[in-house]
Each structure stands twice: as structure tokens, then as C-alpha cells.
Amino acid sequence: MAGTGSQGSVKAEELPNSSFLWGVSTSSFQIEGATHSDGRGDSIWDTYCRQQGRVKNGDNGDIACDHYHRFAEDVALMQGLGVGAYRFSISWPRVLPRGRGGGNEPGLSFYDRLIDALLAAGIEPWICLYHWDLPQALDDLGGWENRDIAGWFADYAALVGRRYGDRVKRFATFNEPCVFTLFGYGFGSNAPGIADKAALHRAIHHVNLSHGAAIDVLRSCVQGASLGAIHNRQPCFAESTSAGDVAAALRFAEYWNDAFPHPQHFGCYTPALAEAMEPYQQPGDMAQIARRVDWFGLNHYSPHYIKADSNLLGATFGAPPDDVPRTSIGWPIVPGAFRDTLLDIDRRFGLPIYVLENGTAADDRIDDAGHVQDAGRIAYLQAYTGAMNEAISAGADVRGYFVWSLLDNFEWASGYSQRFGIVYVDYATQRRIPKESARWYSNCIAASRRLRFPATMR
Ligand code: FCB
């Protein structure tokens, strides 16, 4: 696909990293489908989708992008793009239908085939252990609220590490722990749909414990492992200058930005969260949580504008100022906040940074010529990779950038109504149509490779 784009000329900027990694990301529940095939167990998202009114249009993950059956085509698409890496997640209930106990061989061998296809295509596999699809059988036992889950998660990590660690070295424990705990246990707007402050705090602590336990297991069973977790960090601006909104923004940021990276890196909760987290801690927990990792995984789309609310956090999403543009899903477009976030992470954590999700939803349509002209997405990606390059020039140690997402897919409570892919999926036929942004990204990667450092396209 490289070289076929029509989006202007390539202008490279000299940047410090000569082996910059360009990739794409997806997650199991959002693309695989085949939820009832080959012995897979239910996940909490299967259950959540069955509950009336939870997911837009009553959508579910039963077919999604049918990636389970079409992975070879999808790997070929990635190869055509020229990406160096693919980040995907393992579906815990596909490999362990009841969450623990014996592994499910057909599910395990699906990921063997995927990994082997990626390696044959020259694409480095990056595995994320948990992208939100908890086995329902474990939720029935309390899910992330049950402290025993740290042991269940460690056993799952061992299964994955032992099975794939001969071919895969990059493992992330969790994707966006702040999102699935806050929305799943605090606001109830994601699976498993619980809205309870104590449940939220329990889940936060048990996810942190599980992270540390999985890091230990992966270190011991994967030779040469390169490990991390994937966090969102986003500036949380107050919607207004009122004291209530300012306090709400600070409180929201404690949960959003600090509930996970802070204990995982510094071995304690921030002062603002310490008291709330105290009841769930046992001696030795914080040392177990703060295990050495090799990189900081960042997902970033936009800053937040927060306002006071009567919910359990006293804070919710507000509106950006009128002059801030927004994407089709309503997220503000502020590339400067991305640059500042990268610099801030670099200063705070001192680890190599991989941007493991960035991208945008758009109202994509197939035109009469059969193309998808997504100029808005290209503008977004240009602006955000440009901001990343500014951060790198200013000294941030950013080693890679992965677009969310390879394919349009199941966007959680929004169902299929939001398209984030650089490849369009016609859900009726499962036909994949690379959008203009796929060509842009491919050209960007090719230019970067030729020049041996990251480039943006102007
Ligand atoms: C992130 C999620 C990912 C996807 C994008 C749009 O928060 O990690 O699964 O939904 O947002």
C-alpha cells in the first residue's frame, strides 16, 4: 500500500530515535466475534450486551469483525500498511472459559496461528492480557472485587506467558485500568455495570495487586520479556473557574491519572486516595504492586473538561470551550495536550514511552467510487503525530506509536455506531476497505523507515 497515497508530500523531521516503532492496536472483544465458538466462555461484556438498554442499538460482540475467522486477511492488511507491530489482547474466556482451571486448546491455538502469521509477516506481536473481557465465571465470584483475583490473574498470565513467550516478548498487563474500574464499578456505564464507591476502591486495589503478580509471573516464565501496563493520562481541566468545578477536576484526575501508575511506580497511593484505599490493603501489598516494568504504555485521545456533579465522585465530563473542535464521538481535539502529557510522563516516570492508542472516531462513508475519504482523521493523526514529534524533540523518550484502530469495531457502550478504524469494515459483508487514512499512515511509516527516524506528513 505504501506510496499510493495522495495526501501531500512527506516532510521528515529529524528525531532522536532511529528505531521508532509504528503499529496498530485492537482488542479481543471488539473485533474477534465467534463468542460461542470452540469452547469460549462468556465474558462480562457478553452479559452486559444482553442487558436491555446498556449498549447502543442493542449491539453485541457475537460477530464483530469476525477476526477470529479472518485474522489472516487482517494480518495481510497490516503487512500492506507496513506496520512494525500489532498490539492485540487475549480473550481470557477464550483460553480459560471458566477463568481458571484447564486451558481451552482451540482458543489457545487461535492465538498460536495469529502470532505465527504476524511473525511470518515481519510484524512484532504485542500482547495485552486484559482489555476488559473478564470471564463471566469470575465475575460470578465477585470479579475485580474479590481479592483472590490476583491469584487467578497470575495463573492466567502464566498460561499465556508459557504458551506464547517463545515467540512474544512484549506483554502489557492491563489496558486502561482507570477506565474499566471507574466505568465498570463506579459509574456503571460499562460491564459489569456496578455503581458503588466501595466496589470501585476494591476493584482498583485488586487490579493493582493483579498487575504486580502478573509482572512477576511473566518475568519468570518469559525469557527476555519486555513488560508494562497501558494507562490513560490526560489533563483534566475544569469546565469553568467555579470552585466546585476546579475541585471536581482535581478529584477526577486523582482517579483517572493516578490510581494506577502512581502505586505501580512509587509503591503508594497518592495522598488524596490513600485513606479511601486503606481498608483494602494488607501488609506487603504495596511492594507487590510496585514491580519493575520496562516501559510506560500510554493511551491518549484528548484532554478532559470536568464539572461538579452529584455522582459518587462528585465529578463528571463537561464541555470544552466553544472554540475547541471535537470528533464525532464528542472528544475534544487538543494536540498540545498530547505533547504536554508525553513530556509530563517522561519527567515523572523516566521510562521509555510507547503510545499504544491514539486515533479518532469519524462519520465515515463509502463514496460512489467505493473509497472512504476520511480527511478529518488524517488531519487528526497529522496533528497528533506532530505533537508527539514536538515532545520527542523536547526530550521525551517516546519509542513507538500505535494507531487505534486497525479496523472499525465494537466501541463498547456505543456499539458499532462509532468508527475508529483506518480500515473500514462493512459489517453486512465483512468486507475491509482501507480508508484514505490507511494510505496516509502507510506513507508516513514508509517515509520514516527510509529516513530511519519518525516523520510526519505535511
Ligand atoms: C479506549 C479503549 C479502546 C477503544 C478506544 C476508542 O479507551 O482502550 O478499547 O474503545 O478507547
Percent with pLDDT over 70 in the chain: 94
Other Cβ atoms less than 10 A from the Cβ of 207: the count is: 26
Could you tell me if residue 442 is inside a domain? yes
Distance 402 CA to ligand 1 centre (A): 12
Which residues neighbour 299 within 8 Å (Cβ) at sequence distance 6 or greater? 175, 176, 230, 231, 232, 355, 356, 357, 358, 404
CATH code, domain with 242: 3.20.20.80
Cβ of residue 175 lying under 6 Å from some atom of ligand 1: yes
Pairing of strands 10-12, 455-457: antiparallel
Structure confidence by residue, pLDDT tens digits, 97-111: 999 999 999 999 999
DSSP state letter for 115: H
Contact 77, 408 (CB under 8 A): no
Residue 120 lies in a domain: yes
Which among 176, 239, 411, 436 is annotated as catalytic? Answer: 176
329 pLDDT exceeds 90?
yes
Report which residue type is found at 362: A
Q: Is the Cβ atom of 180 under 6 angstroms away from ligand 1?
A: no
Please tell me the total number of residues recorded for the chain in this structure.
Answer: 458
C-beta 234 within 6 A of ligand 1: no
CB atoms within 10 A of CB 37: 15
How many angstroms separate the alpha carbon of residue 228 from the centre of ligand 1? 18
48 lines ligand 1 (CB under 6 A): no
- Model confidence pLDDT, tens digit, residues 59-100: 999 999 999 999 999 999 999 999 999 999 999 999 999 999
Question: What's the whole-number mean pLDDT along residues 161-190?
Answer: 98
Q: Which of 231, 411, 419 to mutate to test the pocket of ligand 1 (most atoms within 8 A of CB)?
A: 411
Nearest CA to ligand 1 atom 2: 176
How confident is the model at residue 452, as a pLDDT? 53
Nearest atom, ligand 1, residue 176 CA: 8
Residue 256 predicted with pLDDT over 80 = yes
453 falls in which pLDDT band (50, 70, 90)?
Answer: low
Residue type at position 222? V
Q: Which residues pair with 175 in a beta bridge?
A: 230
Structural domain contains residue 4: no
What distance in Å separates the CA atoms of residue 127 and residue 415, rounded to the nearest whole number? 24
Segment 41-48 mean pLDDT: 98
Q: Is 299 in the pocket of ligand 1 (CB under 6 A)?
A: yes
pLDDT of residue 456: 57
Q: Is residue 1 part of a domain?
A: no
Residue 455 domain flag: no
Taking all residues of the chain, what is their mean pLDDT, rounded to a whole number? 95
How far apart CA 223 and CA 174 sit, in angstroms, is 20
Report the pLDDT averaged over residues 162-188.
Answer: 98
pLDDT band at 24 (very low <50, low <70, confident <90, very high): very high
**Per-residue pLDDT at 2:** 35
pLDDT-wise least confident of 4-13, 153-162, 412-421: 4-13
Q: What is the DSSP string of 317-330?
A: E----TTS-B-TT-
Q: pLDDT by residue (tens digit) across 203-250? A: 999 999 999 999 999 999 999 999 999 999 999 999 999 999 999 999
Residue 449: predicted pLDDT: 78
Q: How confident is the model at residue 19 (pLDDT cuts 50, 70, 90)?
A: confident
Q: Are 74 and 109 in contact (CB under 8 A)?
A: no
**What is the count of structural domains for the chain?**
1
- Share above pLDDT 90 across residues of the chain, in percent, rounded to a whole number: 93
6 falls within a domain: no
Query: Is the residue at 2 inside a domain?
Result: no
Whether 357 is catalytic is yes
Does position 16 have pLDDT exceeding 80, yes or no?
Answer: no
Domain that holds residue 272: 12-450
Higher pLDDT among residues 2 and 397, named by residue: 397
Q: If you average pLDDT over residues 343-351, what whole number do you get?
A: 98
Give tens-digit pLDDT for 107-160.
999 999 999 999 999 999 999 999 999 999 999 999 999 999 999 999 999 999
Instruction: Please tell me the distance from the alpha carbon of residue 339 to that of residue 46, in angstroms, as a whole number.
Output: 37
Joined grid coordinates for residue 426: 462493512
In a domain, 458, yes or no: no
* pLDDT at residue 9, as a whole number: 36
Cα gap 150→55, rounded to integer Å: 29
402 Cβ inside 6 Å of ligand 1? no
Phi, psi for residue 404 in degrees, rounded to 5: -100, 110
